């Protein structure tokens, strides 16, 4: 397996595994558990897409749910209002088209929002993205054809295990390849030190906007998946709380570590379900869910701000082994 096509082989293996797993899962897992699994997949897409902005480029966005909302509304509206009576198109093709449309609309919104706001730094950027997220929500509430605050209902349930995790595999492929390339290094350099990055010719604004647009695209796709699984979407579903949930996944997983972030997304989506089943003195622990959640967040920041997985850096980790005698391996194949 050569280095050149390694990522493609991983992608292929991933996609085959997703398809392969789907059959036994569809057959044996009940619909309640399946819902949890799909929700985990959607959370993973959201978290990994925010990780591109937040973890890799260091731009703190608190409005990711806004992009999810745009994608969800675009895709769902297309399915229910426009393509509802389309004939001669397979359901799969239609779903692909509406998901892409949702992603692209969200990406355009990301571009429009990103260009002016990414000049801001730190908590100012956090606040302005929060503001944009809220504005998107309020605007959706006021568009009557899209159901106003009642939202869109009766969306056909097209989202499946294969769609969700297949898209996740593609996103992982993209973000891992990006990180090992010209663009990824530009992202990380921008995160580490913007002034230094500019001083070696990196157009930091361009890199930040690109990361923002890609992140918004996948948040939009995740929104489409969400809408076509829940069959009901309301502006309320995409509020500030949702944005914070996604941010917490990225932070808990350790900003910039794709695998850590995916793990955190799974954990944080599953945990509330697990807590729901535990009774303590007659009170369901799920009532305490958000109290525990917020306390955990505070304690995490105080004691382990680098996230649960810490500064796990596969490259550094691998580098430790290479030092012992075989440093040639990291060198390009010079004869």
Partner 1 sequence: MEEFLQQLINGLSLGAIYALIALGYTMIYGVLRFINFAHGDVFMIGTYIGFYVLNTAFVQSLGPGAETAVIVFLAAMVGCGLLGVIIEFLAYRPLRNRPKLTVLITAIGVSFFLEYTGQLPFVFGADPRTFPTVVEKTTVLQAGGLVIDSYQIIIFVVAIALMLGLRLLIMKTRIGTALRASSMNLKAASLMGINTNAVISFTFFVGSALAGAGAILYAMSYPKINPLMGILPGLKAFIAAVLGGIGNILGAAVGGFIIGAAETMTAGYISPTLRDAIVFAILIIILIVKPSGLFGRGGTEKV
Partner 2 sequence: MSLLHINNLTMRFGGLTAVDAVTETIEPLSLAGLIGPNGAGKTTVFNMITGVYQPTEGEILFDALSIVGSNPHEIANQGIARTFQNIRLFPSLSVFDNVRVGFNNASKTGLFGSILQPGRYWTEEKEIADKIDHLLGMFGLLDNRQELAKNLSYGDQRRVEIVRAMATDPKLLLLDEPAAGMNPTEKVELMNLIRYLRDEFKIAILLIEHDMKVVMGICEKIAVLDHGAKIASGTPEEVKNNPEVIKAYLGESG
Please say which residue, 76 or 117, places its beta carbon nearer to partner 1. Answer: 117
Residues in the chain: 335
117 contributes a contact to partner 1 by CB under 8 A? yes
Q: Within 10 Å of residue 271's Cβ, how many Cβ atoms? A: 15
4 binds, among partner 1, partner 2, none (CB under 5 to 8 A by kind): partner 2
Site string for partner 2, 226-265 (x = CB under 8 A): ------------------------------x---------
Beta carbons of 88 and 80 less than 8 angstroms apart: no
Please select the residue that binds partner 1; options are 20, 154, 305, 310, rule is CB under 8 A.
305
Tell me how far apart the alpha carbons of residues 158 and 171 are, in angstroms, rounded to a whole number. Answer: 20
The smaller minimum CB distance to partner 2, of residues 153 and 327, is found at 327
List 247, 261, 262, 266, residue binding partner 1 (CB under 8 A): 247
Among 10, 34, 104, 131, binds partner 1 (CB under 8 A): 131
Choosing among partner 1, partner 2, none, which partner's interface includes residue 331 (Cβ < 5 to 8 Å by kind)? partner 2
Token pair of 227, please?
Answer: 């809408």
Segment interacting with partner 2 (CB under 8 A) among 42-50, 73-81, 245-253, 324-332 = 324-332
Give whichever of 116 and 314 is closer to partner 1, judged by the CB atom.
116
Do 210 and 38 meet the contact criterion of CB atoms below 8 Å apart?
no
| Beta carbon nearer to partner 2, 203 or 284 | 203
Q: Which does 315 bind (CB under 5 to 8 A by kind): partner 1, partner 2, none?
A: partner 2
Count of beta carbons in the 10 Å neighbourhood of residue 51: 29
Dump the DSSP string for 109-161: HHHHHHHHHTTS-HHHHHHHHHHHHHHHHHHHHT-GGGTGGG-EE-------H
- Cα→Cα distances 308→53, 191, 246, 315, Å: 19, 20, 15, 18
> Taking CB under 8 A as the rule, does residue 36 contact partner 1?
no
Give the whole-angstrom CA distance, residue 196 versus residue 335.
Answer: 34
User: What is the rounded distance in angstroms from the CA atom of residue 298 to the CA atom of residue 324?
Assistant: 40
CA distance linking residue 135 with residue 137, whole number of Å: 5
Give me the 143-182 binding string for partner 2, x by CB under 8 A, dash otherwise: -------------------------------x--xx--xx
Q: Does 200 bind partner 1 (CB under 8 A)?
A: no
Question: Taking the CA of residue 291 as centre, how many other CA atoms within 13 Å lie in the half-sphere pointing to its CB?
Answer: 6
Half-sphere exposure of 311 (CA within 13 A, CB side): 2
List the interface residues with partner 2, window 43-62 (CB under 8 A). Answer: none
Q: Which residues contact 68 (CB under 8 A, 6 or more apart)?
A: 46, 106, 219, 220, 222, 223, 226, 238, 242
The CA distance from 35 to 166, in Å, is 16
Q: Which position among 94, 111, 188, 232 is part of the footprint of partner 2 (CB under 8 A)?
A: 188
In the complex, which residues of this chain contact partner 2 (CB under 8 A)? 3-4, 7, 174, 177-178, 181-186, 188-189, 191-193, 195-204, 210, 256, 313, 315-316, 319, 322-323, 327, 330-334
In the complex, which residues of this chain contact partner 1 (CB under 8 A)? 60, 116-117, 119-120, 122-124, 126-128, 130-132, 134-135, 138-139, 141-142, 195, 240, 244, 247-248, 251, 287-291, 293-295, 297-298, 301-302, 305
């Amino acid at each position: 397996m050569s280095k050149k096509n390694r990522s493609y082989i991983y992608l292929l293996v991933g996609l085959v595994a997703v398809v392969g797993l789907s059959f036994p899962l569809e057959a044996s897992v009940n619909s309640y558990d399946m819902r949890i699994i799909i929700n985990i997949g959607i959370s993973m897409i959201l978290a990994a897409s925010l990780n591109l902005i937040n973890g890799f480029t260091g731009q703190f966005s608190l409005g990711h749910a806004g992009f999810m909302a745009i994608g969800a509304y675009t895709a769902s509206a297309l399915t229910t209002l426009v393509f509802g009576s389309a004939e001669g198109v397979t359901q799969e093709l239609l779903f692909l088209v509406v998901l892409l449309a949702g992603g692209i609309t969200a990406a355009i919104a990301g571009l429009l929002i990103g260009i002016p706001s990414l000049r801001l730094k730190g908590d100012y950027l956090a606040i302005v993205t929060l503001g944009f997220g809220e504005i998107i929500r309020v605007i959706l509430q006021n568009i009557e054809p899209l159901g106003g605050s009642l939202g869109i209902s009766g969306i056909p349930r097209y989202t499946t295990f294969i769609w969700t995790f297949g898209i996740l595999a593609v996103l992982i492929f993209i973000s891992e390849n990006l990180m090992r390339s010209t663009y990824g290094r530009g992202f990380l350099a921008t995160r580490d030190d913007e002034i230094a990055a500019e001083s070696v010719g990196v157009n930091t604004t361009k890199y930040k906007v690109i990361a923002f647009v890609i992140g918004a695209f996948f948040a939009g796709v995740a929104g489409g998946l969400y809408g076509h699984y829940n069959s009901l979407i309301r502006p309320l579903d995409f509020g500030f709380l949702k944005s914070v949930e996604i941010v917490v996944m990225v932070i808990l997983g350790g900003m910039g570590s794709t695998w850590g972030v995916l793990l955190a997304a799974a954990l944080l989506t599953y945990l509330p379900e697990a807590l729901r089943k535990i009774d303590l003195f007659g009170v369901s622990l799920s009532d305490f869910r958000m109290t525990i959640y917020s306390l955990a967040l505070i304690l995490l920041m105080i004691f382990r701000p680098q996230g649960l997985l810490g500064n796990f850096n596969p490259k550094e980790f691998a580098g430790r082994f290479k030092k012992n005698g075989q440093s040639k391996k990291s060198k390009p194949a010079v004869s």
